[in-house]
A and B are shown apart, each in its own frame.
Chain A
Amino acid sequence: MKPEPQKVLGTMAGALAMLSPEIASAFGQQTSGLSAALAMVLAQEWDRAASRLVEENVRVTGLLERSRLVIRDELLHARIDGVVERIPAIDLRVSALQAENDELRRLLTDVHATVDGAEGAESELLNRLIWDELRESTRRRHLVAVR
């Protein structure tokens, strides 16, 4: 779509910032300022959301595949099998990618709870790899506060 949405959102944020001094109440000015800040946040996320989610879904699926060698709990193993053996749907809408991301990270959270603090070289390695991914996940989600 042209003009690009992030440009439109950025312009909206500028317009709100310009209007702010004309708003009489402090609460109104805060609402206007927050609206502008949120528009800038959405502008950042608009461009990268699909890329971020695709990258993360691939990485977390890889970790879950690896975890099949470590996880002994039958129920958890079955949940992991159900996810990694599923033929991926080709739906690149952000909402679909987010739903997949939620399912994968829910499972990753449960896998992490099992290996976090567990003894054994394989569990310790998987634990370290999961922590690496969690650190990377915050880098992917990092937003710059624009004032």
Chain B
Amino acid sequence: MKSELSAYLAKQLPSDDGVAISNLARIPGGASRETWLFDASWTESGAPQTAALVLRKDPPASLVESDRAVEYAFYSAFHGTEVPVPAMRWLESDSRDLGAPFFIMDRITVGETNVRNLSEPPYATSRPMIGRRMFEVLGAIHRFDWSSSEIAPVVAAPTCESAWGEQVGYWEEMVARNEISPQPIVRAAIRWLRRNPPPPAQRVSVIHGDYRVGNFLYSAEGIHGVLDWEMAHLGDPLEDFAWACHELWDRSLISKEQSIEVYEQASGLKVEADALHWWDVFTGVKAQGIWLTGAKSFDDGRSPELMLAYAAYMLTNATDEALLRSLGRGA
């Protein structure tokens, strides 16, 4: 891929004589788009130039079926705002250059995403600060005026009343389409969600869709970049808040009460207990939909990503257990 990438960048950059690619490496992590880090160097009007870049390339199949142009629009919209994101460079829907559609963005070179490291001693004193920043940034995402941004033309907006139903419908469809074996617990959860609808959204906001520890770059100085916007859409902000706090991945950087306090102040919204509980149950349904989609991709042979099989084995039952607890049916 190195030569193809070099050839592509030579077309995009005003280089005197081509672009050299170095340190090209695929990074581990999620099983949706392939993520590659690399450095580019070229000469421009005789002056040497370098750039640290990230390539996000579509796989044959993944945990999440999403549109890279939409992901690109979300990143672009937030660049330069109080929500730190990488700067976007190029979006290609054509497979000709690299064998699959892709986009390239600048690389944020400070911070890490490693979930376990947050529990290690270097972060002992800064964990609470990172926890507060996590929910301040989330509040900023939900306060953002998307209506006049790159997002509006590419994403359908629900109403405050329809937001919950559209999401339940989407994930119910994903479960139905992808379940390899029957899923009685998530089916029961979907029935509960429909029978007990939440209050209307306080506003229709940008929803990151997978906002949690592991999807932002952090250091002892704070949060440097929010990543993985592939499930971003418009909807009820409590969807994101409940997701960020869910027991499946919560690292309890700060207490739930502190999370709510920080988020309410940052977003201008209220976190009502009943509504939060509903979105907590929804989080389990959505998570199950994600694991099942990946499992089917692996089972069908469309993807060899071992992460999909691991998620299917370890997370589908853990999510069922979490759903039972959230429905008051746990052990």
Binding site for B on A (CB under 8 A): 25-27, 29-31, 34-35, 37-38, 41, 45, 98, 101-102, 105-106, 108-109, 112-113, 116-117, 130-131, 134-135, 137-139, 141-143, 145
Contact = CB atoms under 8 A, between A and B. Distances in A.
Contact of A131 (B183, B191, B310, B329): B329
B184 A108 contact: yes
B109 interface: no
A98 B180 CA distance: 11
Given A34-B306, A105-B181, A105-B184, 14 more contacts: A29-B28, A31-B306, A34-B310, A38-B306, A41-B310, A45-B313, A102-B181, A102-B182, A113-B187, A113-B188, A117-B195, A131-B329, A138-B321, A141-B317
Nearest to B321: A138
Contacts of A116: 188, 191
A84 B316 CA distance: 28
25 contacts: A25-B26, A26-B28, A27-B27, A30-B29, A35-B306, A37-B310, A38-B306, A38-B309, A38-B310, A41-B314, A105-B182, A109-B184, A109-B187, A113-B191, A117-B195, A134-B185, A134-B324, A135-B324, A137-B185, A138-B185, A138-B324, A141-B317, A142-B317, A143-B313, A143-B317
A106 B317 contact: no
A27 B306 CA distance: 12
Contact of A26 (B25, B195, B306, B321): B25
B184 A134 contact: yes
Provide the main secondary structure of the chain B interface.
helix
Interface residues of B, number: 27
A108 B184 CA distance: 8
B331 interface: yes
Interface in B281-331: 306-307, 309-310, 313-314, 317, 320-321, 324, 329-331
Provide the main secondary structure of the chain A interface.
helix
Contacts of A134: 184-185, 188, 320, 324, 329
Contacts, number: 79
Contacts of B317: 138, 141-143
Contacts of A37: 310
Contacts of B314: 41, 143, 145
Given A26-B27, A26-B28, A143-B317, A112 B184 contact: yes
The 5 lowest CB-CB distance pairs between A and B, nearest first, are A30-B28, A105-B182, A34-B306, A109-B184, A27-B26
A135 B307 contact: no
Contacts of A106: 182
A109 B182 contact: yes
Contacts of B321: 138, 142
A116 B196 CA distance: 14
Contacts of B313: 38, 41, 45, 143
A55 to B, nearest CB: 16
Contact of B191 (A26, A102, A117): A117
Nearest to A127: B188
A131 B309 CA distance: 27
